[in-house]
Structure 1
């Protein structure tokens, strides 16, 4: 899937075209056992079975990646999850932001299928991973949803609560670098309140050390669920 980024580094911004052929969703990626259990319980509350192992690596079709401002879903049962997103291109590793948008009704039947049926929105900005590697744990992911016509906080946490990107990559590859043209979402933080759908999802990756942000906002177009 061809994605277009604005790559921001110390003094420059340049266009980056990336053709991703593989997409991996790292699930149950918490670093702390209690935090993992909290997320498992969140999903169990809506009928999602416990995972067989942690972390788990779900393969999703790369053509589900999108940088559009609107995604279409079938039925009113899906919701977003803010995640750091890393990808390998030209022998280097980059970081951006993605939403693991998931059909929660289908998730109770199969987590893997629930991830496959929804598009995965990706931001249009990126950083070099090397520029943030030393302070990865300080990066913050946030999300907001629209409720009652107003924006409400939905997720807020640092990446210190999750396994690091290199750790997740090693777990997936067995120790090798992330394969070329592969993207990986790196897990999410707990929601504020209950997991729930919303017509608008806004997300942000904040770097407090270099004082910069990557953000993306998308709306959800709900298609009728017919039998």
Structure 2
């Protein structure tokens, strides 16, 4: 399989960037998308050129590090999938690919396809935790949790913080990410005590980081690799207004 790649190249945060065209040939259909970029980088290094910088870590759809917009779609067009879980067979009918980074003011580009997502870390630091006194762990069965509540908390906790919701939102809103973290704790008895305070702190931090507000386009729900529901945003808003 042969592909024409239009890849966003940018030296640093302050410089201007542009698309640069590359060609890759004889790519096996079972090659992952990131392996295809590895193949391109090997060719560039052999030529003495700078390789394309992109984020990755686990390459198993767990860590949320990979972050590419492919032909206008964060993580590609395949549902419930991260960039690292894509294979070139998914693009058997597409020979031309446009690859760019997340586009959001709060996610400044470091170089090429890699962006800074420390804003998410600061949001978590503002309230994404349960305050506890130090000491030994309590007995696991000392607090009974309804299975429906546990399942709801788990669904929210599957958020990997990749930022696709921000990249696809016309307002660059982080509402789905923040709401998932808030709802994760809200469903558990240990987290309910600080629910309102947590929501206020995390939402205020989200606004300070420059993320936009939710206007119910629901694109975030569509591109989320973990299929997190926008119902989490409703829970977040209810806590804020309570």
TM-score computed with the length of structure 2 as normaliser: 0.25
Q: Using CA pairs under 8 Å that are at least 6 residues apart, name the structure with larger relative contact order, 1 or 2.
A: 1
Q: Which has the larger radius of gyration?
A: 2
The structure with the largest strand share of the pair is 1
TM-score computed with the length of structure 1 as normaliser: 0.26
The structure with the largest helix share of the pair is 2
